[in-house]
């Protein structure tokens, strides 16, 4: 359940300015690949977005205060006979998850700078968007101290025939803790897999697992995320049904290729042990909003992910 309000304020100092306010209560069971925990978040965010000198350069500052609960399924912890870590039933729960069990207050200041020359927001075929963002989580107030730096770029080109679009995406990010609060909490680390990243893999499934490696028999396959990631994607889409007056409304067919990797430690890039996939998709614009269907098929996968394809779906 979320409430979002974003309003443009044109009269403040004669500048282009947008105020955003978010209030939310999220109860997410799908974030755990092995269904070990449920993530509950209650909080709010306020932000200001402003054009800096031109419409192409956009700056944003925001502040978030949220109470994040990690509710581990089952509430009785015990140690198995193999000398492993805390377990629920016969499955090991990674320490990175156990350490965050319960509720934690997190306060975050985020800053971003974007350069955006796209000729459309819904279906661009020319221009680029490059965004550098950083998040600083602090202990006053809050229980965690860490930072994240992320660079995202998207480039758009006209294809071989009218209406054809080539989209190229590149991303990378690093997270690290500071002070004496330990590691970056697993729920704010980087993961790949799902509709907006590696589409041939399950949501959040392309990420490091807890050690020991390989795990002991009966231990969990739950990913714990990583502090460094990189990702790239190429997509070529063609119109099937499209109105000349309402550009982008209709049906499009897409072919795509995704590649990326998530590393456990900060600033530890690995360009060799990557995961990648190819796939096909449909883009349908309806009165209720855009509908997106993708089917991705892994090419290179790790021991935690199989080679069977994944179906991805989203409305809105």
Contact residues for 81 (Cβ-Cβ < 8 A; gap 6+): none
Q: What is the pLDDT of residue 100?
A: 87
Greatest alpha-carbon pair distance for the chain in Å reads: 69
Q: Which residues pair with 292 in a beta bridge?
A: 283, 314
Q: What is the pLDDT of residue 80?
A: 42
Lowest mean pLDDT among 2-6, 38-42, 57-61, 106-110: 2-6
- Output the average pLDDT for the chain: 86
Q: What is the pLDDT of residue 139?
A: 77
- Mean pLDDT of all residues in 285-302: 89
Tens digit of each residue's pLDDT (9 = 90 or more) over 297-312: 999 999 889 889 999 9
Q: Are 157 and 182 in contact (CB under 8 A)?
A: no
The residue that leads in pLDDT, 286 or 116, is 116
- Residue 249's pLDDT band (cuts 50, 70, 90): low
Q: Which helix (H) or strand (E) holds 112?
A: strand 102-116
Record the pTM: 0.87
String of DSSP letters for 35-75: S-EEEEEEEEEEEEEEE-SSTTEEEEEEEEEEEEEEEESSS
């Amino acid at each position: 359940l979320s409430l979002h309000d974003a309003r443009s304020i044109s009269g403040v100092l004669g500048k282009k300015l947008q105020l955003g306010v978010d209030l939310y209560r999220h109860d997410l069971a799908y974030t755990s690949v092995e269904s070990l925990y449920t993530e509950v978040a209650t909080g709010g965010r306020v932000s200001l977005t402003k054009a800096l000198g031109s419409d192409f350069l956009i700056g944003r500052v925001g502040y978030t205060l949220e109470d994040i609960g990690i509710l581990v399924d089952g509430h009785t912890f015990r140690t198995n006979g193999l000398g492993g870590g805390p377990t629920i039933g016969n499955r090991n729960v990674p320490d990175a998850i156990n350490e965050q069990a319960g509720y934690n207050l997190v306060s975050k200041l985020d800053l971003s700078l974007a350069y955006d020359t796209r000729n459309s927001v819904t279906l661009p075929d020319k221009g680029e968007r490059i965004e550098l963002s950083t998040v600083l989580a602090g202990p006053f107030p809050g229980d965690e101290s860490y930072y994240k730096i992320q660079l995202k770029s998207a480039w758009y080109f006209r294809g071989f025939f009218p209406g054809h679009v080539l989209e190229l995406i590149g991303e990378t990010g690093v997270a690290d803790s500071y002070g004496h609060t330990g590691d970056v909490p697993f729920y704010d680390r980087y993961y790949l897999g799902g509709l907006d990243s590696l589409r041939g893999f399950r949501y959040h499934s392309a990420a490091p697992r807890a050690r020991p490696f390989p795990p002991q028999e009966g231990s969990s396959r739950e990913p714990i995320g990583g502090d460094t990631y990189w990702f790239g994607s190429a997509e070529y889409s063609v119109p099937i049904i499209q109105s000349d007056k309402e550009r982008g409304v209709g049906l499009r067919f897409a072919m795509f290729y995704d590649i990326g990797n998530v590393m456990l430690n900060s600033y530890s890039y690995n360009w060799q042990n990557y995961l990648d996939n190819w796939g096909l998709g449909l883009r349908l614009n309806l009165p209720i909003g855009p509908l997106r269907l993708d089917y991705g098929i892994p090419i290179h996968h790790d021991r935690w992910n199989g080679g069977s394809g994944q179906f991805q779906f989203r409305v809105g």
